[in-house]
Amino acid sequence: MQESKYGVGELLGMARDRAVPVLVAVPDSALAAPTPCAEYDVKSLVNHLFQVVVEFQKLAAKGESDFASTPDRVGAGPDWRERFAGEADRLVTAWSAPGAEDGVAGAWQMPARLVGSMALLDLTVHVWDLARATGQEYPVAGWAEPVVEQLSGTVATLAPTARTTGVFADPVPVGADASPFERLLAQTGRDPYWVSAV
């Protein structure tokens, strides 16, 4: 796999710049709506993504993360959008720090760059989930190519275990004209053309 010329911090910054406007635009009226990620509604997916953004800051510093439970940060107050934006900034800063990509990280003892790319995956595909669930656009032209390049390798590396453990569903077939981003979504078990039935 060819390694991206971009650091994880840079790539997370690109994804953050797309993610924050989507999260800010999630209306309270949509919090119970379904998402392309079948086990989550909008509120629970926001809480999950919030948890990822917070806990992966610790992993950048070679600390230990805690995913034993997911706090209800959305329910903690109406300023959750601003709090998410602040934590996303801190995630980018953490993974931009010298040494963040060196060595191994977390209880999994996985290569730190791969661990950072797992945060990038969530900050990209789950934000697409939220955009699609709330009727927002998620344009990828002009910014996403290096993110998709990195994540294609990440998904290929993680897929065998992720499918066995149910993190990824089976790949979704796409047409020959599918974009690289649509192919990435399909490899994580998402239907790139998902539309809410609500």
* C-beta separation of 36 from 182 below 8 A: no
Q: Identify the pLDDT of residue 3.
A: 61
Q: Identify the pLDDT of residue 166.
A: 78
Q: Identify the pLDDT of residue 110.
A: 94
Q: Identify the pLDDT of residue 163.
A: 87
Q: Which residue has 């948890």 as its token pair?
A: 51
**Grouped pLDDT means (10 residues each) for the chain, 198 residues:** 80 98 98 94 98 98 94 97 98 98 92 97 97 96 94 93 85 95 95 86
What's this model's pTM, rounded to 2 decimal places? 0.95
* C-beta separation of 89 from 53 below 8 A: no
Q: How many CB atoms lie within 10 A of CB 45?
A: 25
Burial 86-117 (b: 16+ CB within 10 A, else e): ebbeebbebbbeeebbeeebbeeebebbbbbb
d(CA 22, CA 49): 12
Give first-to-last CA distance, the chain, whole Å. 40
What is each CA distance from 164 to 14, 66, 108, 160, 177, in whole angstroms?
A: 30, 22, 16, 6, 29
* C-beta separation of 46 from 74 below 8 A: yes
Q: Identify the pLDDT of residue 167.
A: 83
* C-beta separation of 15 from 127 below 8 A: yes
> Please, what is the Cα angle at 42 between 37 and 44, to 5 degrees?
85
Q: Identify the pLDDT of residue 1.
A: 46
